[in-house]
Amino acid sequence: MAAQLESVERCLEKHLPAPELQEVKRILYGKEPRKLDLASAVVKAASQHEFELQGYAFEAAAEQLRQPRKVRVGLIQNRIPLPTETAVTEQVAALHKRIAEMVEVAAMCGVNIVCFQEAWTMPFAFCTREKLPWTEFAESAEDGPTTRFCQELARKHNMVVVSPILERDEPHGETLWNTAVIISNSGAVLGKSRKTHIPRVGDFNESTYYMEGNTGHRVFQTAFGRIAVNICYGRHHPLNWLLYSLNGAEIIFNPSATTGELSECMWPVEARNAAIANHCFTCAINRVGTEYFKNEFTSGDGQKAHHEFGYFYGSSYVAAPDGSRTPGLSRLQDGLLVAELDLNLCRQVSDKWNFKMTGRYEMYAEELAKAVQQDFRPNIIRE
């Protein structure tokens, strides 16, 4: 039943009278980003390929010494096109095909940096705790078929591609990782960023498959700005966002896979709060739909075994450092969200709110260093 709601914003638009709607939007979403005027050919292409297309621009004040630094990001959310029982190579090929057609439209919209959802080349099968065939979806981040596919996209469209995959690290004992590969608009692999925090909640049994990432909080200098990737569960960890920001990230992508019962009330808050707290843009992406697995699995909660692990509610959005945000993409269908970001807004908001100056990092560092010691005792004053 809940899965039938298209989006919170559509619901508000449908039911609130115009003046109240404007006021509710102002309070809930902040300054409304301008709607992008997308060419009719683009709108038609999206509709032909049966996905939603939305476009917005976040503007910054004009400055005397700096030109506007406008970059267009594209967030892609999608269902898995084939049943999970289909041969691995067929599933991957179908996903490549789907993403290629969506990226084609992103290119028509002038997108400079595109990011896909977490583990985009596969069903989110970690709930099953089975190894085969799911581990067969793992690929080399440096030269696997998906990275080569994304390199072609990057070259063809002069676009930076953020490609979150299940990585098989051959030189290190063929270990598995949850990794985002960052491909420059030149087509070169700029590097990779591994998921820092592995969930231990509900059916997200990912710790059965891979370890906490060891790539730290690296930031990638691209032709269009400095970007970082905070994969899914990392969004619950404010220090994770902070460290990408301390390393200079202007845009932090959060490719995710998360379900309604578990996290939907947290979704609109976390990435948006990170944009505010760190004076940067954040881009939250979630997959869509219900994925069915042939073999039943249990959730270790005494309930009956089941074949699905919940509804992935889409709702991808972009948040800006001034607290404003785009509406979410649909909860129900594939979608491309295009957002034009003037990166000058990051410093403008920083100069206004000064969190990087008012933050007491030395004090936090000192107290954290004590808190992780074995002999630590909480600093509680008692009568």
Ligand X SMILES: NC(=O)NCCC(=O)O
Q: Which residues bind ligand X (CB under 6 A)?
A: 118, 199, 201, 204, 232-233, 256-258, 262-263
Q: Which is nearer to ligand X, 9 or 118 (CB)?
A: 118
Q: Which is nearer to ligand X, 210 or 233 (CB)?
A: 233
In contact, 292 and 124? CB cutoff 8 Å: no
Q: Which is nearer to ligand X, 151 or 263 (CB)?
A: 263
Helix (H) / strand (E) containing 119:
none
- If DSSP codes are grouped into helix, strand and coil, which group holds residue 257? coil
Q: How far is the CB of 264 from ligand X (least distance, A)?
A: 9
Cis bond upstream, residue 378 (ω within 30): no
Q: Which is nearer to ligand X, 135 or 350 (CB)?
A: 135
Q: Which is nearer to ligand X, 233 or 244 (CB)?
A: 233
227: which strand partners?
Answer: 220, 251
Q: Which is nearer to ligand X, 194 or 226 (CB)?
A: 194
Q: How far is the CB of 180 from ligand X (least distance, A)?
A: 13
Query: How many angstroms separate the CA atoms of 134 and 123, rounded?
Result: 8
Q: How far is the CB of 178 from ligand X (least distance, A)?
A: 8
Q: How many angstroms separate the Cα of 25 from the Cα of each of 9, 319, 324, 326, 327? A: 9, 14, 10, 11, 10
Q: Which is nearer to ligand X, 36 or 228 (CB)?
A: 228
115 counts as catalytic: no
118 counts as catalytic: yes
Query: How many angstroms separate the CA atoms of 211 and 197, rounded?
Result: 9
Query: How many angstroms separate the CA atoms of 285 and 153, rounded?
Result: 20
Catalytic residue among 52, 115, 167, 195: 195
Q: How far is the CB of 100 from ligand X (least distance, A)?
A: 24
Q: How far is the CB of 187 from ligand X (least distance, A)?
A: 28
Query: 155-159 long-range contacts, Cβ below 8 Å, gap at least 24?
Result: 155/186, 155/187, 156/107, 157/103, 157/104, 157/106, 157/107, 157/111, 158/112, 158/185, 159/103, 159/106, 159/107, 159/111, 159/112, 159/113, 159/114, 159/185
383 counts as catalytic: no
Catalytic residue among 52, 118, 167, 270: 118
Contact partners, residue 213, CB within 8 Å, separation at least 6: 177, 178, 179, 193, 194, 195, 196, 231
In contact, 271 and 231? CB cutoff 8 Å: no
Q: Is 342 exposed, middle or buried (0-12, 13-18, 19+ CB in 10 A)?
A: buried
Pick from 339, 301, 332: nearest CA to 315: 332
Catalytic residue among 109, 127, 150, 232: 232
Q: How far is the CB of 360 from ligand X (least distance, A)?
A: 28
In contact, 90 and 66? CB cutoff 8 Å: no
Q: How far is the CB of 198 from ligand X (least distance, A)?
A: 7
Query: How many angstroms separate the CA atoms of 295 and 308, rounded?
Result: 10
Residues with catalytic function: 118, 195, 232
